[in-house]
A and B are shown apart, each in its own frame.
Chain A
């Protein structure tokens, strides 16, 4: 593992581990709020806030950063060459991290208690939607870098088959790119303009359909 790709993978992995940790603490909070114990801060608001944080961090943030870290490792290990476009890859990392922090800040401040499915017309703070969109944009850059790694290797090794693990990773990237079209369309055309007050109404069925266009294949990581 080259140092440069290693640092990139580790940076992504740390975000995955930290979000897993916070999400686990939120799961504990949920369990405690259901227990017959007289604990402080027990309220419906805190319960649904912790459900939202747990779902969003586990299903969306942890999975995305983990697959990005794992993708960089698989690409370099199986292809035996450093990942190209490292500047771009780091830009994708910072975009995704910035977006995640905005989303988490919106949730933890109690302004985005909409669960991880965020069905409208339950409305969250715009930072929740914009942050989640930036996380997806960062992951698109990651997908581009993984595909470019493979293409660069292919040019250097004409006629040779690539390792099975890399094919698995490319399939993951393709599924991810197809799936995120749904949530990106939902965010850009429905939720963000609506949460900013630019549009007055929203179609909840259309939003839900676009969400599950994304949410269903999301589980195939």
Chain B
């Protein structure tokens, strides 16, 4: 097929743009250690408080790291203050008791949705000790902008 040079230039340019976009997605995804949003563990959203997995929302620390059990609810997170050790693997297990919420720890790659009926789980490591802001980044109703919590990353005890 005879394709004029001018058309060829545009076709290659279009292909190049697509390749660039895909490269950006791959580089930022791998570079930022993005994880696909969790697996497909389900939960009855009307029974979160009595479900053995979420009846005691808290942080449990062991030799390997910490596990955070938490949930989002209009318009706050439980627990509202989360303390985890620095430099250790921290696994978050979370859900929602009402509508879909967001869970973003500002300045880190911890960012997931809390969807009612599903358990969101991911593992990350916080290297720098300090205080971090947790916000809901998914519109959840008229008090959405008030929904926040605190993460405190502590130096591991000697």
Contacts and interface: CB of A to CB of B under 8 A. Distances in A.
Interface of A: 44-45, 48, 51, 113, 115, 117, 119, 121-122, 203-205, 208
Interface in B37-68: none
Nearest to B141: A122
Given A117-B139, A121-B100, A205-B117, 10 more contacts: A44-B143, A44-B145, A45-B142, A48-B139, A51-B139, A119-B138, A119-B139, A121-B98, A122-B99, A205-B115
B117 A203 contact: yes
B116 A204 contact: yes
A204 B145 contact: no
B144 interface: yes
Q: Which 8 A-B pairs have the closest CB atoms?
A: A44-B142, A115-B139, A119-B100, A121-B99, A204-B115, A122-B99, A204-B100, A205-B115
Contacts of A117: 139
Contacts of B140: 122
Interface residues of B, number: 15
Interface in B95-152: 98-100, 115-118, 138-145
Contacts of B144: 48
B24 to A, nearest CB: 16
19 contacts: A44-B142, A44-B145, A45-B142, A48-B139, A48-B144, A51-B139, A115-B139, A119-B99, A119-B100, A119-B138, A119-B139, A121-B98, A121-B116, A122-B141, A204-B115, A204-B116, A204-B117, A205-B115, A205-B118
A135 B140 CA distance: 26
Contact of B142 (A48, A119, A203, A205): A48
B117 A113 contact: no
A121 B143 CA distance: 16
Nearest to B40: A205
Contacts of B145: 44
A130 B87 CA distance: 51
A155 B141 CA distance: 54
A204 B45 CA distance: 11
Contacts of A45: 142
A204 B145 CA distance: 21
Contacts of A122: 99-100, 139-141
A45 B157 CA distance: 46
B46 to A, nearest CB: 9
B32 to A, nearest CB: 21
Contacts of B115: 204-205, 208
Contacts of B118: 204-205
A208 B98 CA distance: 16
Nearest to A123: B99
B147 to A, nearest CB: 12
A208 B118 CA distance: 13
A45, A51, A119 — most chain B CB neighbours (10 Å): A119
